[in-house]
Amino acid sequence: MSSLHPRYANKFTEVAYPRMDDLVSRCDRRRGESHSAWSGAQQSERDLVILSWGVDFSTVRRMPDRAGVVYLVHPSIAKAARRTKLKHAKIVVSTPDDAAALIVGANRIFGDFSSMTLEAAVLNPSVYMFVDRRFYGSDCDLNPSFFDRSDAAFGRVEHADCSLPIQRVLDLEGLKRALAGETVAPEAAVVSWAVEGMLPKATGDQGAQAAALIGRVAAALLPEKRKLATMSPNLLALKAVESAYYDVLGRQPDYPAALSHARNWLNNPAPRPAKTISLYNTFAQSAEGQKRWVAGNFQLPEVRVEAMAGDVSEIVS
């Protein structure tokens, strides 16, 4: 975090990434196994492609379709993935165990801006990144400049003072050639260019560190709850979005989609309770939200919005 946000380096005292511990543990358990998606492919032919949310599957259908190519897609687009038929390549909707088995079983891995691409780079040295707007539909809300190779802002990591190296990041044509069998230059591997602090650490104690840190933060805040009033607007927005993900969708936030929701929340001039309820409603009206609402075991979440200092005129429920 200090490397990615040098202007705030003195604000960070500890950081933990417990999800990395879980992935390492699952990879260790699945090492040596062969995922069914690799059926009929030699080890040297196994190419895994990690795709984030918002994928346009019409582009996937135009990619090389051969045995040994596996597309690992985000669970939020499972329905579209099931409708997409390939003759030889496979599409797998990501689960923790499937992701682990495919990461350790792949000969090469090609990933987009998904955090799993960086996680995979810790576990497999042959991980390459690709960035191309043509892979995504209208749901992708990253800035157009992030994909524009003629723009100085290409590959710029939001809220950080670093960018992806344009010469080492594949475009659509480069990925097609690689999946067709072309060798990728070693210097394009993520581990060769990732700046310090970009890749998560696999220390084995991240979960314990996170739990201890959360405990200390909670202990410090609870006695003086009003200190939350000094929370920055950006953090308030992220907390509101995180709560909506867990309360309405029942899962952890997607990034960078969550950042877009946070920006919308910040730019909404309505009082905090009103715009938070509006955010919950947006999530509930989504396809994923409506699917969860009709499940028999889903209970309406209790929405509680707490007023901060300066919000005394707002309605609090």
Question: pLDDT by residue (tens digit) across 240-273?
Answer: 898 888 888 888 888 778 888 998 998 888 888 8
175 and 235 fall within a common domain: no
Question: pLDDT by residue (tens digit) across 31-82?
Answer: 888 899 998 899 999 999 999 888 889 999 999 999 999 999 988 888 888 8
Rg (CA), the chain: 21
253 and 188 fall within a common domain: no
The pLDDT value recorded for residue 212 is 65
The pLDDT value recorded for residue 308 is 42
289 and 171 fall within a common domain: no
41 and 127 fall within a common domain: yes
The pLDDT value recorded for residue 107 is 95
Any domain includes 202: no
Any domain includes 207: no
Q: Which of 56-60, 155-159, 209-213, 287-291 has the highest mean pLDDT?
A: 56-60
**Domain CATH code at residue 34:** 3.40.50
Any domain includes 242: yes
Any domain includes 81: yes
Any domain includes 220: no
- Is 120:103 a contact under the CB 8 Å cutoff? yes
Per-residue pLDDT for 6 more than 70? Answer: no
Q: How many folded domains does the chain comprise? A: 2
Higher pLDDT, 13 or 247: 247
The pLDDT value recorded for residue 313 is 36
Any domain includes 13: yes
235 and 189 fall within a common domain: no
71 and 151 fall within a common domain: yes
Tell me what the mean pLDDT of segment 111-139 comes to. Answer: 89
The pLDDT value recorded for residue 207 is 62
Per-residue pLDDT for 231 more than 60? Answer: no
Reading the block at residue 288, the tokens are 């994923």
Tell me what the mean pLDDT of segment 156-184 comes to. Answer: 89
Any domain includes 213: no
182 and 239 fall within a common domain: no
20 and 134 fall within a common domain: yes
* Domain ranges, residue 304: 231-317
CA 173, chain centre distance (Å) = 24
Any domain includes 209: no
